[in-house]
């Protein structure tokens, strides 16, 4: 299993959970080598198998090399989790072009490039054994996001549409393509920015279930969608949001 953006947050949680279930995991990163190596070490110390691979998912050549590196050590992949993504808050008129392009290229183009490479290797029509592609979207893709986060929401809406579209194209080739929309999730990125009291209040005010979600809850849902228990599911994007979309969807 390749997990893009696997060095922290939701990606790291999915990588840990996958390794605990017996997957051999590639922890992809762009620049955070030390964090990726720490996740690999943690997995190895727990008896799992993992490797860290640097790749810029915006670059098709870099993506291709990542898949080759993984195949060389672990054999051909069976699963891809497109998790890497960025969000940079700014009203559209004030957003520099390079920032806008970075969000689009990382979140949407990166997902497309990694998916394209995975299909070449997974497709039974191309000699592969089939497999699963899981795209990590966001509940913002369902309701349009909040002011200042419009481009991020647009990329996630694009991922949702891409998930449905590509699933139709490869359904007969042994590949399931699913999506997962996290809501407000407590990751280590918040540490030092929000106090525990602020996090609790955010959950109470912004989520119908009255709390923010935990990374482990996203990881469990992601691994379920990848598992044989979800074997008749494709083209579907699952909300794992505590009902967040109910508050902001109208």
Give tens-digit pLDDT for 63-101.
Answer: 999 999 999 999 999 999 999 999 999 999 999 999 999
How many domains are there within the chain?
A: 1
pLDDT of residue 82: 98
Distance CA 185, CA 242 (A): 10
Tell me if 244 is assigned to some domain.
Answer: no
Q: Residue 61's domain is classified under what CATH number?
A: 3.40.50.720
- The catalytic residue among 23, 79, 143, 152 is 152
Q: Which residues of the chain have pLDDT under 50?
A: none
The DSSP line for 199-213 is HHHHHHHH-TTSS-E
Q: Token pair of 38, please? A: 């720490």
A 10 A CB-CB count for 210 gives 12
**How far is residue 50's CA from residue 147's CA, in Å, rounded to a whole number?**
39
Residue 163 in any domain: the answer is yes
Residues, the chain, total?
250
Q: At what angle do helices 9-20 and 33-45 cross, to 10 degrees?
A: 20
Check if 232 is active-site: no
Per the domain annotation, does 91 fall within a domain?
yes
- Integer Cα distance of 92 and 100 in angstroms: 9
Model pLDDT, residue 196:
85
Hey, what are 78's tokens?
């069976």
The pLDDT value given to residue 248: 83
**pLDDT the model gives residue 250:** 52
Residue 249 is predicted with a pLDDT of 65
Residue 98 included in any domain: yes
pTM as predicted? 0.96
- Domain membership flag for residue 49: yes
End-to-end CA distance of the chain: 37
Structural domain for 11, as ranges:
2-239
DSSP annotation string for 113-145: HHHHHHHHHH-GGGT---EEEEEE--THHHH--
Do the domain assignments include residue 247? no
Confidence at residue 146, expressed as pLDDT on a 0 to 100 scale:
87
């Amino acid at each position: 299993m390749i997990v893009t953006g696997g060095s922290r947050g939701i990606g790291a949680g999915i990588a840990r959970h996958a390794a605990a279930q017996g997957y051999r995991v590639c922890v992809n990163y762009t620049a955070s080598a030390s964090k990726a190596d720490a996740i690999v070490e943690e997995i190895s110390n727990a008896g799992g198998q993992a490797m860290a691979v640097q790749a810029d998912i915006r670059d098709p050549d870099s993506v291709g090399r990542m898949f080759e590196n993984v195949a060389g050590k672990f054999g051909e992949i069976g699963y891809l989790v497109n998790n890497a993504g960025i969000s940079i808050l700014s009203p559209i008129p004030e957003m520099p072009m390079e920032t806008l392009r970075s969000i689009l290229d990382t979140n949407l183009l990166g997902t497309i490039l990694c998916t394209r490479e995975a299909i070449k290797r997974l497709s039974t029509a191309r000699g592969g054994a089939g497999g699963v592609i899981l795209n990590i979207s966001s509940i913002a893709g369902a309701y349009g996001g909040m002011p200042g986060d419009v481009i991020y929401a647009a990329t996630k809406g694009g991922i949702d549409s891409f998930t449905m579209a590509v699933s139709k194209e490869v359904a007969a080739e042994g590949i399931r393509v699913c999506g997962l929309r996290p809501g407000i999730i407590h990751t280590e990125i918040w540490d030092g920015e929000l106090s525990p009291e602020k996090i609790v209040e955010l959950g109470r005010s912004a989520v119908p279930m009255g709390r923010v979600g935990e990374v482990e809850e996203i990881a469990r849902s992601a691994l379920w969608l990848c598992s044989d228990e979800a074997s008749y599911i494709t083209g579907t994007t699952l909300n794992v949001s505590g009902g967040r979309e109910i508050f902001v969807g109208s």
